[in-house]
Structure 1
Amino acid sequence: MKTAGLMLVAVLAVAACGGGDRNKRNYGGGTVTRAASVNFATGPVSRACLTSGRKAANSRLCGCIQGVANRDLSSNDQRKAAKFFSDPHQAQETRQSDNPSNEAFWKRYKAFAARAEASCTGL
């Protein structure tokens, strides 16, 4: 449970960072928008983050995490990761799975979560 909680904190930390071009740019299933000189990304991870009901969730943080997801995860991986917000136990099951595809996903997810935490902490 502690591991799942830490992973969710890492995901939330990443959500607020976004990359972007001048106005809009599409990356891996999400859109990056520039509004009021703040860059934020939208997509499945940011939507899941914003609707998670977590106290720290806000559009900057969730957009940052989505921006990192756009760089690090495929569209399929993003959809799978987004489900962890509503069902943290699913993250634990995926992490403990002996399925080779789940193991490969978990390695990508851990790298994403670490980058998100480093990029989005404090937003």
Structure 2
Amino acid sequence: MKKSLSLAVSAALFMAVAAPSFAGPVESACLRSDRKQASRALCGCIQQVADMTLRGSDQRKVARFFRDPDQAQKVKMSKTASDDAFWERYQAFGAQAEAYCAR
């Protein structure tokens, strides 16, 4: 029993370490951006915060802001309830990313 349990744990650890990492939408957009501070470490950190704070659809919307910053302004100025709710989530994400990734 112990042998099969340790084998299962070893296999799980191997899969966790050996599994390829795939960039999320925010990380990908960050890496493709023309910002000189963009690095794999910083963009990966921002994606980690996005994974903790934003749903998938929010992450895709944030990724579009990297390509077209005017979209952020349009959402901010929008008067719809859904855009207002998104903007609150976006601001919380930004504050958390700044605090978490600016080390």
What range is the shorter-chain TM-score in?
0.7 to 0.9
RMSD across aligned positions (CA): 1.8
More strand by share: 1
TM-score between both structures, scaled by the size of structure 2: 0.79
| Distance verdict in 2 for CA 1:46–1:110, change over 3 Å | same
Q: Does 1:89 align with 2:70?
A: yes
- Greater radius of gyration (CA): 2
Structure 2 unaligned blocks of 5 or more: 1-15
Shift of 1:52: 0.6
Residue 51 of structure 2 aligns to a residue in which SS?
Answer: helix
| Distance verdict in 2 for CA 1:120–1:24, change over 3 Å | farther
Partner Cα distance (1:72, 1:62) in 2: 15
Q: Does 1:49 align with 2:30?
A: yes
Corresponding residue of 2:99: 118
Choose from 18, 23, 35 the match for 2:17. Answer: 23
Q: Where does 1:52-63 land on structure 2 (aligned, <5 Å)?
A: 52-63=33-44
Shift of 1:50: 0.3
| Distance verdict in 2 for CA 1:117–1:103, change over 3 Å | same
- State the identity as a percent: 51
The letter of the residue matching 1:50 is L
Partner Cα distance (2:23, 2:41) in 1: 10
Higher normalized contact order (CA 8 Å, seq sep 6+, divided by chain length)? 1
TM-score between both structures, scaled by the size of structure 1: 0.67
Partner Cα distance (2:18, 2:94) in 1: 24
Number of aligned positions between the proteins: 88
